[in-house]
Amino acid sequence: MKKIILFCYILLGSCGIINAQDINFNADWKFHNQEAEGAEKPTYNDSSWRNLSLPHDWAIEGPFDVKYNARAGGLPFHGTGWYRKHFTMEANAKGKVVTLEFEGAMYDAYVWVNGTLVGNRPYGYIGFEFDISEHLKYDGSDNTIAVRLRPQDLSSRWYPGAGLYRSVWLKIDNPIHVGQWGTYITTPTVTKEIAVVQNETTVVNKNNKEVTVNVKQEYVSPEGKVVATVNEDITIKPNATAISQLYTNIENPQRWDTENPNLYKTITTITENNTVVDTHHSKIGLRSIAYTKEGFFLNGKKVRFNGVCLHHDNGALGSAVYKRADERKLQIMKSMGVNAIRTSHNPPSREFLEACDELGLLVQDEAFDVWKMEKVPNGYNVFFDEWAETDLKDMIRRDRNHPSIVMWSIGNEIIEQKDAKNGWKVAKQLNTYCKEIDPTRPTSAGFNNYPGPYKNNMAQQVDIAGVNYKPSSYKTLIDTYPELPLYGSETSSCTSSRGVYHLPIEKYKTHESLHVTSYDIIGPPWAYPPDIEFHFQEENPNIMGEFIWTGFDYLGEPTPYGGKDNSTNGYWNADWPSHSSYFGAVDLAGFPKDRFFLYQSHWTTKPMVHLLPHWNWQGMEGKDIPVYCYTNCDEAELFVNGKSMGRKVKGKDLTSLLIDFSRYEPKTFDSKYRLSWNVPYQAGNIKVVGYKDGKVVQEEQIFTASKPSKISLSVDRTEINADGEDLAYVTVRIEDKNGNLCPNADNLVNFSVKGAGKLLAVDNGNQISLESFQANQRKAFSGMCLAILKSSKTSGKITLTAKSKGLKSGKILTISK
């Protein structure tokens, strides 16, 4: 049995004695994926259990199986899982306040310490902590933590994951300390000349006597310079809390925004009798936000939401939280032109929000997908009455210092929209909870039951009403409710499979291949191509922008295959093995689909052109192939084997799209957002040239690939941290002898790793692949696949070798240090 020995260190310094600690508790857990009677007891024998470190999502390990719900990814996320950890505490920790913090546990977590139940938390997306001081042994003998999780079948409309999928911490504090999520930092005034920063700090006194302490706040600039210091004395009654309220002025602030996400650090120091008893660090951004019927304003400047909805999984990693995985996802989104994220439909991880702060992405932080009325039988509705207030308030307490967050969402497509009598009352109560904890940000919700929630007083209970999939109704809503700020909270829902093109172009519901064409016109009945949203947003400039469904593909909800959204009658397995989303502008592996570039052409200004489809159409010689160009240039010219097919002007030369969606009568739409040509196929190459002000500024070329010849590897970062947590993403391409991507290649690639890391997962973005994410091999899909490397805690080289029968191998090196 491996034990962890914990010491309560005393650090001496010029500022006094600091003996509070936050200890990462992710290493050395025991796991068992079955019922285990008596496993909460310290005497239980767990020697046969699996050893692992967190974060851990047991469901992503698979296997995929038709007996599991494709709506939730076709993976075994439900059942019972047990985690146990052994450790010792030394005598000098006695008298401290020891808490156990879980950043997320999926779900219905019960926690025991040395056989005593210390608490239960059902909602898997929100963090929680328990004071375990009284339940520990401080004599060097064994302490045992036991955690039981019981995710239920039919509890989620997508893949939720399972297990201790976020970090766990052991926190050792003095009796006087800053409480959990204990600082609340706001910026009542921010201009170019001055920022007024207000800091409310909750200080806990676990002593049996009244104490007087000094609370000091230091503000450190992005360059590391202390720019302000304030302090005050407060008195705290025995076994009580008190709030310190301090403000300061920071002159000439470096404001946080989407282009320059400047972050300041706040250091809170608690001193008793000239002895430091606690310190607490926060990162903040100095910025102002405002909403009017004219739009959203950041630091006084109108900003439109170029937004995406994102689920919390990271493809092959499942729901397990790695900061680099979230950072990479958000960097890819930002390169598409995204400036805003909706955390659909639940509280995100701490790491995710930190990455948004650092990258300058605006966030709508969302609490719930369901209230009291069910969407699936075992959803959050089971816990709503007892837990909604606690979960919502805790989400806001945890997240309210993040400058990236610009609104709170209390729900998504809530079934109570249809309850004209009581739905608005629930919305009103949730809105009140938000305002109690943070009155500085507006509230919102995503409404899809137009016009119901606007007519029955539900939309009026939030500050900003979200509109799901009703672009043609924007003008009516603005005219009817002129004082209600509006935005597209979910838009488009276009579906596609990367690199797949079905000819002729036609509007279909499903395809026998179980893939969806990437000509970007296919979607379910409520959905429409992105061009439609662009059009109605431009016609209604007071709409604040949009959040597309979705930025990335995600596990589960394989619309248009398998089932119908919001149905409560069970499984979505009619089109097995389809088991993951087609909605993303980027696939599950993080590879951009064509639609990525359509959004990029509309949301960015750096000259770009993108050409589709591929140019391998053997057997189609002489037949017309529709060729599309997505560009932000003024004009584009297409060449086939060097011969011009014509120069077209964006905005003037239109592309007719087949459409068919709810509440919109026309069956075609003439788009000014994409250029197109029909050209007879002949092998060779196609090239598009983009012009601005009559000058060539960008071009792209696609060649007809010959047979697969080699494996080409590229890595997102050549140097990663040797911390046992950092990741490197390796893109694998099947190429011909000239280096052209083979767009139809599906070769099986085998991986091996040597050095200071390991192969963590593999993927290829194929929505119907049943290959394991945790194997050492993967088939290419549309010519590509992915390998994810994880560092060890030892510095050194990590070498990945990729082999496939009949192909020249690939090798790539990453440094871990």
Region 22-34: mean pLDDT is 96
Are the C-beta atoms of residues 311 and 158 closer than 8 Å to each other?
A: yes
* Separation between Cα atoms, residue 139 and residue 671, nearest integer Å: 74
Q: Examine the pLDDT at 270 and tell me if it is beyond 50.
A: yes
- Per CATH, 302-593 and 710-816 having the same topology is answered no
User: For position 567, what pLDDT does the model report?
Assistant: 60
CATH architecture assigned to 302-593: Alpha-Beta Barrel (3.20)
**pLDDT-based confidence at 664, cuts 50/70/90?**
confident
φ and ψ at 304, to 5 degrees? -90, 145
User: For position 732, what pLDDT does the model report?
Assistant: 98
User: For position 665, what pLDDT does the model report?
Assistant: 87
**pLDDT-based confidence at 20, cuts 50/70/90?**
low
Positions of E strands within 90-163: 97-102, 109-113, 116-121, 128-131, 143-149
Q: Which residues contact 761 (CB under 8 A, 6 or more apart)?
A: 316, 317, 773, 774, 787, 788
Region 24-50: mean pLDDT is 97
- CA separation (Å) from 400 to 215, 305, 411, 453, 669? 21, 20, 18, 27, 43
pLDDT tens figures, 435-458: 999 999 999 999 999 999 999 999
Q: Examine the pLDDT at 524 and tell me if it is beyond 80.
A: yes
User: For position 18, what pLDDT does the model report?
Assistant: 34
**pLDDT-based confidence at 816, cuts 50/70/90?**
confident
Q: Examine the pLDDT at 594 and tell me if it is beyond 80.
A: yes
- Give all strands of the β-sheet with 796-803 in edge-to-edge order: 719-720, 810-816, 796-803, 748-755, 777-779
pLDDT tens figures, 694-748: 999 999 999 999 999 999 999 999 999 999 999 999 999 999 999 999 999 999 9
Are the C-beta atoms of residues 111 and 67 closer than 8 Å to each other?
A: no
User: For position 3, what pLDDT does the model report?
Assistant: 37
Pick the CATH number of 4-173 from 3.40.50.720, 3.40.50.1220, 2.170.130.10, 2.60.120.260: 2.60.120.260
pTM (predicted TM-score): 0.96
Q: Examine the pLDDT at 532 and tell me if it is beyond 50.
A: yes
User: For position 148, what pLDDT does the model report?
Assistant: 98
Six token digits for residue 716: 């997102």
Domain residue spans in the chain? 4-173, 177-284, 302-593, 609-703, 710-816
* Separation between Cα atoms, residue 556 and residue 312, nearest integer Å: 12
Active-site choice (272, 351, 366, 413): 413
User: For position 817, what pLDDT does the model report?
Assistant: 84
**pLDDT-based confidence at 566, cuts 50/70/90?**
low
Six token digits for residue 143: 């302490």
Q: Examine the pLDDT at 367 and tell me if it is beyond 80.
A: yes
Please return the burial class of 452, using the count of CB atoms within 10 Å of its CB with bins 0-12, 13-18 and 19+: middle
Q: Which CATH superfamily includes the segment(s) 609-703?
A: Immunoglobulins (2.60.40.10)
Let me know if 413 is a catalytic residue: yes
Count the alpha carbons within 13 Å of 228 in the hemisphere toward its beta carbon: 23
Region 345-350: mean pLDDT is 96
User: For position 13, what pLDDT does the model report?
Assistant: 24
* Nearest Cα residue to 573 out of 251, 154, 155, 192: 154
Residue 152 DSSP class: P
User: For position 569, what pLDDT does the model report?
Assistant: 67
User: For position 723, what pLDDT does the model report?
Assistant: 94
Q: Examine the pLDDT at 1 and tell me if it is beyond 60.
A: no
pLDDT tens figures, 160-201: 999 999 999 999 999 999 999 999 999 999 999 999 999 999
* Separation between Cα atoms, residue 252 and residue 274, nearest integer Å: 33
Are the C-beta atoms of residues 803 and 809 closer than 8 Å to each other?
A: yes
- Of the chain, the percentage scoring pLDDT greater than 70 comes to 97
Q: Which residues of 588-620 are buried (b: 16+ CB within 10 A; e: fewer)?
A: bbbbbbbbbbbbbbbbbeebbbbbbbbbbbeee
Q: Examine the pLDDT at 8 and tell me if it is beyond 50.
A: no
Region 272-289: mean pLDDT is 96
DSSP helix/strand/coil, 446 = strand
User: For position 6, what pLDDT does the model report?
Assistant: 37
User: For position 16, what pLDDT does the model report?
Assistant: 27
Looking at residue 766, its amino acid is N
Least reliable range by pLDDT among 129-133, 512-516, 661-665: 661-665
CATH architecture assigned to 710-816: Sandwich (2.60)
* Separation between Cα atoms, residue 213 and residue 229, nearest integer Å: 17
Least reliable range by pLDDT among 106-110, 290-294, 470-474: 290-294
Are the C-beta atoms of residues 734 and 741 closer than 8 Å to each other?
A: yes
Q: Examine the pLDDT at 565 and tell me if it is beyond 70.
A: no
pLDDT tens figures, 41-53: 999 999 999 999 9
Let me know if 251 is a catalytic residue: no
CATH architecture assigned to 177-284: Sandwich (2.60)
Q: Examine the pLDDT at 2 and tell me if it is beyond 50.
A: no
